[in-house]
Chain A
Amino acid sequence: MTSLAEPGTRAAEPAGAPPDRHRNGQRMRRGALRRRSTLVGWSFILPNFLGFALFTLVPVVAAFLLSFMNWDAYNPPTWAGVHNFVRMLNDQSFWVALENTALYALGHVPITLALSLLLALLLNKKLKGIAFFRVAIFFPYISSLVAVAIVWNLLFNPSSGPINQFLHLIGITNPPGWTASTTWALPAVIITSVWKDMGYYMVLFLAGLQAIPQEYYEAASVDGANGWQKFWNVTVPSLRPTTFFVLVMLSISSFKVFDLIFVMTGGGPGRATLVLSQLIYQDGILNGQFGYASAISLALFLIVLVITVFQFRLQQRREN
């Protein structure tokens, strides 16, 4: 490593060369410099890139190829064409998992979006101790998943869980069976995941709110706008990029959902909370049907891609 004590030695070099040779030399030097900086650049990237290429890029490409192969844990791979996809479309479990995943997203996305925005508006105040409230509401997001799943399972206990006791208290005599019921298991996991995720998206909304210039609100006040009008005409439009980002992230994460549901219900009762990710796990890793499971994962990827692109288009049209 060169020391800081000898400044300027390198910069002083190019001086008294003749004009044409100078230009030639400069071109050569530029080529050499470029080669050098390519080498230097790659030397920085390489340690990470080796791991990234081997364990992320290669599997991503392989997943695509695998979905067109017949391959299980016991037989060598053979070309299958679209066989896996045909099988998928005739697989009842796939449709059940797709429906459950979509229903989960339909519940999880709008509720989390609304609640996290509401929380951000409420907590975007200059008040003593406000940071404490923000931190506390964020905490469920990073607390350990298994502990959270277990405690909510007990809270949802149909006969003596605190939630149904509360429902009894407010006069609901026949409260739902939650995770024990095929109709209420999905709402139960949606409630839990909204509770767990809303703090994270609240932080994103808070960042968006704090980026709105105060002058906008002052100008609106001068024009005589009340609080509600300021919200609709200043806050909502200024927050649009954040809202869009949150919407995309929420949709993607909803379609990938796995851990929380898997620990809470294991996909049950029956197949009531079986989602696409769990199906991929079951077919691919548990049953060793690598090709078929890859076809389902390609479908999952395409769904996520289509939703993302669709939301981007919508956003662009609104901007124009």
Chain B
Amino acid sequence: MAVTSAAPVRASLRARRARDRVGKAVLYVLLAALLIVVLLPFLWMLSSSLKDNVDVLTVPVQWIPKDWVWTNYRDIWSRIPLAGYISNSAILAVTITFLQVLTGSFAAYGFSKVRFPGRDALFLAYIATIAVPWQAYMIPQYVMMQHAHLTNTFWSLILLQAFGAFGVFLMRQYYMTIPDELTEAARIDGLNDYGIWARIVLPLSKPALASLALLTFVNTWNDYMGPFIYLSSNNLWTVQLGLRQFIGQYEADYAMIMTGSVISILPILVIFLAGQRYFIAGIATSGLKG
């Protein structure tokens, strides 16, 4: 190759660049098509939420609303107590996320930076329960909560979901990547373990904390079974329960149901867009969901 003269090399380079450009364009078209197919259900949901109910299931499909019924977004708040549902979901999600992040990161320090007998066996017990399907022990949990008279209160869900093994696991995996030399140096400088956790390890693990907080928040916000089993009073219902109930109540009012669906997804969309790289990083490092 080294012996050939400059001109043909330049020509073949140019040809390759042109081919690359065409290839890239094809790829973009392909990706755009893929994107539309995957997001089609959301587009349909959005479009239906802005329609009159009679226009939702038409033949042929109306992708763009004939009449834009913006009033759906005003009327839904009086049709179902959506504001109350949203605030219930928010209370649960924030409380559970806060407790999970706090106790999880605290315990993870014990599991990664303090050496003591029995530590690894205990950690194994944590890991093992992650593999046990939640449905396998939901009956005893329910019986316990019933006996403690905590069913139909937020307490049942907070207690059951705030101390998950997942948070400990995720944080520990991250803490293991923080070199021991750093914590040892801080110890020599006179910090005790609580100080090291608060001033060295915690600030260093912001990305992992963000991952854990976002994943826990979204999981709690989207949880259906937990609230469904434990919360029976309408005034305690979360967005998911309220929305599900809406189908039974107004069987035919699809437009309004789609409006509620869009509103239930909005908070997740905002949180997701703000912290998407933490989501991806959290999943990629732990490979486990909550």
Question: Closest residue of chain A to B224, judged by CB?
Answer: A259
Contact call A285/B139, Cβ cutoff below 8 A: yes
CB of B117 closer than 8 Å to a CB of A: yes
A7-B190, A297-B137 given; A57·B287 CB < 8 A: no
CB of A236 closer than 8 Å to a CB of B: no
Complex formed: what's the CA distance from A263 to B198 in Å? 43
One of B36-44, B64-72, B74-82 at the interface: B36-44
Contact call B190/A9, Cβ cutoff below 8 A: yes
Interface size of A as a range: 35 or more
Contact call A56/B163, Cβ cutoff below 8 A: yes
Interface residues of A in 1-30 (CB under 8 A from B): 1-4, 6-11
Contacts of B60 in A (CB 8 A): 165
Interface string of B48-69 (1 = CB under 8 A from A): 1000000011111100000000
Contact call B189/A7, Cβ cutoff below 8 A: yes
Q: Chain A binding site: helix, strand, loop or mixed by DSSP? A: helix
CB of A301 closer than 8 Å to a CB of B: yes
One of B11-19, B100-108, B202-210 at the interface: B100-108
Q: Chain B binding site: helix, strand, loop or mixed by DSSP? A: helix
A45-B122, A146-B240, A301-B133 given; A11·B225 CB < 8 A: no
Contacts of B31 in A (CB 8 A): 122-123, 133
- Measured CB to CB, the closest approach of chain A to B161, in angstroms, equals 9
Complex formed: what's the CA distance from A280 to B141 in Å? 13
Complex formed: what's the CA distance from A165 to B106 in Å? 55
Contact call B106/A47, Cβ cutoff below 8 A: yes
Contact call B254/A154, Cβ cutoff below 8 A: yes
Name the residue in B30, B119, B132, B288 with the highest tally of chain A Cβ atoms < 10 Å from its Cβ: B132
Contact call B140/A245, Cβ cutoff below 8 A: no
CB of A62 closer than 8 Å to a CB of B: yes
CB of A138 closer than 8 Å to a CB of B: yes
CB of B174 closer than 8 Å to a CB of A: no
Complex formed: what's the CA distance from A154 to B192 in Å? 59
Contact call A136/B45, Cβ cutoff below 8 A: no
Which residues of A are interface residues toward B (Cβ below 8 A)?
A: 1-4, 6-11, 34, 37-38, 40-45, 47-52, 54-60, 62-63, 66, 119, 122-123, 125, 127, 133-140, 142-148, 150-152, 154-155, 157, 160-162, 165, 195, 200, 203-204, 206-207, 245, 249, 252, 255-256, 258-259, 262-263, 276-277, 280-281, 284-285, 290, 293-294, 297-298, 300-301, 304-305, 308
Beyond A7-B190, A47-B106, 18 additional pairs, beta carbon < 8 A: A34-B116, A38-B116, A40-B193, A41-B119, A59-B137, A63-B140, A127-B28, A136-B38, A140-B38, A146-B240, A147-B260, A148-B41, A165-B60, A165-B61, A195-B38, A262-B225, A284-B138, A290-B140
